[in-house]
Amino acid sequence: MNAVNPRRWQALIVLAAAQFMVIMDTSIIGVALPDMQRDLGFSQGDLQWVFNAYVIAFGGLLLLGGRLSDLFGARKIFTTGWVILIAGSVVAAAAGNAWVEILGRAVQGVGGALIAPASMTLLMMLFGHNPRELGKAMALYGAAAPAGGTAGVFLGGVITQYLSWPWVFIIYVPIGLATLAAVPALLPSVEGRRGSVDVLGAAAVTAGIALAVYAIVRAPEQGWGSATTLLELGGALALLALFLVIQRSVREPLMPLKIWKAPGLATANLAMALLGAAWIPMWYFLNLYLQQVLGYGAFASGAALLPMTVAIMIFMIGVTARLLGKFGAKPLIVTGLLVLAAGVAGLSLVRPDGAFASDVLPASLIAAVGMSLAYIPAMMSAMSGVRPEESGLASGIVNTTYQVGSALGLAVMTAIATSRGAAEPGNLLRLTDGFQGAFVGAGAVAALGAVLTLLLMRRPRPADRTAAGTEAESLGA
């Protein structure tokens, strides 16, 4: 057994900061998007690739990142991830055109896919000796995610307004260098183990996701029934099918298919995918509505979204865990998705001459409560039925599912918005029509998630319910 690390709480700060930065990287660019669109020449439809390039690389490579962490040692992969994230940040900040920006964002996503699973492994090593300490460490580490989302929205507005959009990437350089400097003194050295890397499987799943998103993004202009769109979607399905074949045939797969026999894993992942497919498009188009229709500047837009993101953090940390211990996962997931659907439905009523206090604030707060109620229960439900030695894999799968759902949902809602006129910046009526269509679609996805969860998710066995309740109490401690 490893000796207790006397600097484990200082090490937790480094790991929580890494989680904070990885999640912030998905939210900090939201307010900067209109400025990036103007300076880099993005079309309204292609602008989503600033977000999608990151989440496709991040979500598609998370399982590979976890495998590499096992094979080469978590500290080494954590360090490598930060080097790659810093490099991607430099490319994204220096980009002079849209494609270089997308490349930089993809490289950032690769770095995040290495950092996230390595951080979890290191946390388990530092605190696994004491279940109570582990619960507290997990709560602090978990709180870093909503905190990163909150900080990203507001900080992105401040930086874009008073500096310029490249600085939303430049800030990762000094923070990354400081993190790398702290690694040798604070994080434990972890020996790797012998084994193989399923490179072909990782390539197949990432390429399949990317091609599916690309096909959906291009479908409005190419035609949903065109030969090109059908060929691209068919290619995406073929690549994802190839991934499953590879997982059945290789000796050490990224995702052993037998894990899907775990109770609740499939339905919890379905709920997470639909949650991401509803939430991320809502957040994305709300940013655009505030700036392109209401005329908010970057700082004002970030400040306008701050109440929503603060509400998420407060509910996730202080409320949801307690409700989870009392009522269980299924009622909270169903309720959360329904509340999210109601909030997004409220946003679908936005007007070209709308106001923040009436058109945005009430509905966005309702949506935030729904997101907060559903996210943690779905995450814990996905992990509660697996064996302890499979918890890392289950965590990687559910995070991948959420990211993939986010990318596909954003692609579909962008296609809907574009078809209704959102590709015409400056035309407030057409823009609003397009954004309304995206909000309606996102709300329908959330409602579908609630219905499917209600119909498909089974109540956990008593042993699983006890374990989940114990974890919830630890998170709420």
Cβ atoms of 314 and 322 within 8 Å: the answer is: no
pLDDT at 466 (0 to 100): 46
pLDDT at 460 (0 to 100): 59
pLDDT at 26 (0 to 100): 73
pLDDT at 473 (0 to 100): 47
pLDDT at 210 (0 to 100): 83
Residue partners of 290: CB distance under 8 A and separation at least 6: 296, 300, 301, 304, 305, 356, 360
pLDDT at 347 (0 to 100): 94
pLDDT at 367 (0 to 100): 94
pLDDT at 23 (0 to 100): 78
pLDDT at 360 (0 to 100): 92
Query: 218-250 in b/e burial notation, b at 16+ Cβ within 10 A?
Result: bbbeeeeeeeebeebbebbeebbebbeebbeee
CA distance 423 to 417: 8
- Summarised one tens digit per residue, pLDDT across range 110-160 is 998 898 888 877 887 887 677 777 767 766 776 676 667 667 777 888 888
Average pLDDT over the chain reads 83
- Summarised one tens digit per residue, pLDDT across range 61-87 is 888 888 888 788 888 999 999 999 999
- Summarised one tens digit per residue, pLDDT across range 28-64 is 887 788 889 889 988 877 787 888 888 888 877 888 8
Pick the CATH number of 258-477 from 1.20.1250.20, 3.40.190.10, 3.40.50.150, 3.40.50.970: 1.20.1250.20
pLDDT at 135 (0 to 100): 65
CATH of domain 1-185: 1.20.1250.20
pTM score, two decimals?
A: 0.80
What stretches in the chain show pLDDT beneath 50? 1, 463-477
**Encoding tokens for residue 200?**
């072909």
pLDDT at 463 (0 to 100): 46
> Which stretches of 73-225 are DSSP H helices?
74-94, 98-127, 131-162, 167-170, 172-186, 199-222
pLDDT at 3 (0 to 100): 65
